[in-house]
A and B are shown apart, each in its own frame.
Chain A
Amino acid sequence: MEYIMEGFKEAFKLLLSFDSEVYGIFLLTLYVTLMSTVISTIIAVPLGIMIGLKKFKMKKALIRLLYTLMSMPPVIAGLIVYLILSRRGPLGELQLLFTPAAMIIAQVTLVTPIITGIVYNSTRDRGESIRQLAHTMGANKKQAFALLIFELRADLLGAIVSGFGRAISEVGAVMLVGGNIKGHTRVMTTSIAMLQSMGDYSQAIAIGIVLLLISFGVNSILYHSQQVN
């Protein structure tokens, strides 16, 4: 028990000392996570709405695939992206492996199906009613889309926050494609995993506290917006 308390004390000291290595890890984590969440949102929101509203062949098969991808193990996503970006892979020439860009691609692969699936479910439940209302009020396509976004705003925010949560807490995929290189691709989760294996609990706890605080902050925003809605 003592070594845990000692770990906490050291962790707070480390945080208050503004250690450049630790804060570098925080910044890289936020950069990779935010970038992957933004890219996933841009892809997933229109995609989820389209699947929810349109009728097309193979829709059921696509939804089954989407649900499967929503629960895809991170290491599988990491492995796929690793194989694609590796020197002998189809995108090997880009030399992206073991860079933050590769980590973003891996996280986009993981997060996009999650946001798409949540947006699809919300659109399936209410999208048709909203579309019909927009039509009967004389809205054009742009105005109808704006109404849809307005009405689904809480669900969309929930989807984006879920995606962000998945991205920031993910370790397997970023470890595979990023390689946990100090000062280059080391993020909070990979750092904690490495520090734990090395027995350096104070730094692991310090990073863990910040990770929890970020998670708390993001979920507070989500909770607040849901209350407002």
Chain B
Amino acid sequence: MKITVNNLRKTYDGKQVLSVDSLEVKKGCITGIIGPNGSGKSTLMRLISGIEKADSGTVAFEDKKASEETWKGITLVFQKPYLINTTVYENIAYPLKLRGAGKDEISRRVETMLELLELGSIRHRNARTLSGGEGQKAALARAMVFEPQLLLLDEPTANIDPKSIYIMEKAIRHINEKVGATVLLVTHNVRQLKRLCSYGIFMNNGSVEIQGAVGSLFEDLDNTPMGSFISEEFII
């Protein structure tokens, strides 16, 4: 699913937090968004996902305005996902039930996700009792189980252990390669951006400063805000 953003503006309490003149996310690719805290990455994700409305500007999906059907093919995983107060299995089955899937189909798809994200052993645990990494994996499984056309991920691997990051990255590649989903990923991790994404967007002060192939973000680093962002990232 191609995303086209034009003149998108968002203000909170009188302060403009997002001002994107033009942005295009390519269909079927994994695109990473990187940038310092407060650069508008999460706000952009929330506006694209439709959970918040922009003050002005447009977000088009395949050059069309979003309809109710469009939203059914788009999902967002938050950094701190909300998990339903039931088992891991039921959490993952939830979007399939919303779509009226049959019992056999639900079972088959949920089992695939449990295996892909290595959640089989905790399928009967209440999702509220999971650790941070387990919760993120369950949320990713829930978002992927209905094979969305567009998967929005807002720092899904922040503060979790390397093994869980590896499993989640493998799952993200799976949905992109096997299902053809477009993935838009917010990350603070430069290495993850290079590992996973073919396209990159650098945001700063609410604006898109660089967009293009991931390699283009790392050109002329001495003279771009991306350069100073990366140096800070490596100092940390």
Contact = CB atoms under 8 A, between A and B. Distances in A.
B95 interface: yes
Interface stretch (B21-29, B71-79, B171-179): B71-79
Contacts of A5: none
Contacts of B77: 136
Contact of B98 (A137, A151, A229): A137
Given A140-B68, A143-B98, A135 B85 contact: no
Given A132-B51, A143-B98, A138 B71 contact: yes
B180 interface: no
A129 B143 CA distance: 15
B50 A150 contact: no
Q: Is the interface of A mostly helix, strand, loop or mixed?
A: helix
A108 to B, nearest CB: 30
B183 to A, nearest CB: 15
Nearest to B146: A138
A229 B71 CA distance: 31
Contact of B71 (A129, A130, A135, A147): A135
B75 A136 contact: yes
Interface residues of B, number: 23
Nearest to A151: B85
Given A143-B98, A147-B84, A137 B51 contact: no
A133 interface: yes
Nearest to A132: B51
B15 interface: no
A138 B72 contact: yes
- Residues of A in contact with B, size category: 10 to 19
Contacts of A133: 81-82, 84
A139 interface: yes
A137 B95 CA distance: 6
A87 B142 CA distance: 61
A69 to B, nearest CB: 30
Nearest to A130: B82
Most chain B Cβ neighbours within 10 Å, of A133, A139, A150, A229: A133
A120 B76 CA distance: 26
Interface of A: 129-133, 135-140, 143, 147, 150-151, 229
Given A133-B81, A150-B84, 17 more contacts: A130-B82, A132-B51, A132-B82, A133-B84, A135-B49, A135-B50, A136-B51, A136-B75, A136-B77, A136-B143, A137-B142, A138-B71, A138-B72, A138-B73, A147-B84, A150-B85, A151-B85
